[in-house]
Structure 1
């Protein structure tokens, strides 16, 4: 069983550009997933969660301490490594301070991984990556972009006020999108290779192929 923790996703790209916090070991390598045996036989739990690499799980499940954290994206992109404070003297000092804290909240504030409990730095790196992907993608004509925003906003309101009308509108829109998508995908394939189409859509190769197949098979 794999850990199903969801990372960060942009509405347009979904899992094609899903970001998460990745772990970098002292030798620059990436650790294997941490495996927890949850019973006899073949039952086990597998996770790539960076929190298991704070040093406290090192001997229990052989999860090595992280030397740095960085953003990784499902498309293969990796962000800058952000070093973790792993100096033995500093870690011992902060661990001792956490043990002496009066309550759990104080302990968390003094723990050497306190700043990493909120992976905001990695999330900002991923957001910058998504901005670059969007900038490199084919830009929509302003009138089309405006119409898409208006339709989306109007359907959101209609779904609350008149859900049956909204459902019919979505069904009609689905038909229109299917027809336009088939024409666009066929023409795009005639004029361009998949690498060029992928860049225009902001999608990796696998997702580009799936997108073209989805529209051309309709």
Structure 2
């Protein structure tokens, strides 16, 4: 099963969210190991659908709840599994295994929790000046239109912007390091401290 995460445009992997299974002691289960027998390669997965009780042969315990988790360490409130729903609600048939994970809570409720968390992160981060935010929006729209109408001109504009952004990013990273501790920088950017260090290093060209 493919593990699909959620990412916001601004924070990307630093605040990547996903659905996590929750055991009766409040912890998350260990990843399920799939031994495909192909040499040393072993696939591991923490996909929430594996913890519905039908994968016991893989030593995957049954979850009692689902919750949203974020790469930054935030965890959402658990959404309990309805005890009235069991494997009998989706038994295996001659056509293949059942889908008892459908008896688990709708993962969209976890996505809504993570979306609210991202909203909190955005509000806690240092806001852009209104004039700058407006100019960025206007420039974005203009460049999209230019890419349709005059793609070569758009490429020239992008090239100029890349140089400008590199110069400004280097200056801003140096000034931020001089003026602020890393915890202040991280809060201002809406990032965990390690990701804030990575962001600074990227802009500073370290």
| Count of residues in Structure 1 that have an aligned counterpart in Structure 2 | 204
Select 1:51's aligned residue among 49, 52, 55. Answer: 49
Q: Report the Cα distance in structure 2 between the residues aligned to 1:112 and 1:15, rounded to whole angstroms.
A: 27
Q: Report the Cα distance in structure 1 between the residues aligned to 2:144 and 2:54, rounded to whole angstroms.
A: 46
Verify: 1:12 aligned to 2:6, yes or no: no
1:165 CA displacement: 1.6
1:155 CA displacement: 1.6
1:103-155 per-residue CA deviation (whole Å, 9 max, x = no partner) reads 99xx87xx573463x41100000000000000000011101000111111222
Aligned to 2:39, what secondary structure does the other structure show? coil
1:100 CA displacement: 11
Q: Is the 8 A contact 1:91 1:112 kept in 2?
A: no
Q: Is the 8 A contact 1:23 1:66 kept in 2?
A: yes
Task: Give the structure 1 partner of residue 73 of structure 2.
Answer: 76
- Cα–Cα, structure 1 residues 148 and 195, in superposed 2: closer, same or farther, change >3 Å? same
Q: Report the Cα distance in structure 2 between the residues aligned to 1:126 and 1:100, rounded to whole angstroms.
A: 33
Select 1:30's aligned residue among 3, 28, 31. Answer: 28
TM-score with structure 1 setting the length: 0.85
CA RMSD of aligned residues (A): 2.4
Q: Is the 8 A contact 1:7 1:19 kept in 2?
A: yes
Aligned to 1:8, what secondary structure does the other structure show? coil
TM-score with structure 2 setting the length: 0.90
Q: Report the Cα distance in structure 1 between the residues aligned to 2:89 and 2:177, rounded to whole angstroms.
A: 62
1:6 CA displacement: 3.3
1:139-181 per-residue CA deviation (whole Å, 9 max, x = no partner) reads 1110100011111122222222222221221111111111111
Aligned to 2:85, what secondary structure does the other structure show? helix
Q: Report the Cα distance in structure 2 between the residues aligned to 1:31 and 1:97, rounded to whole angstroms.
A: 23
Task: Give the structure 2 partner of residue 149 of structure 1.
Answer: 137
Q: List alignment gaps of at least 5 residues for structure 1.
A: none
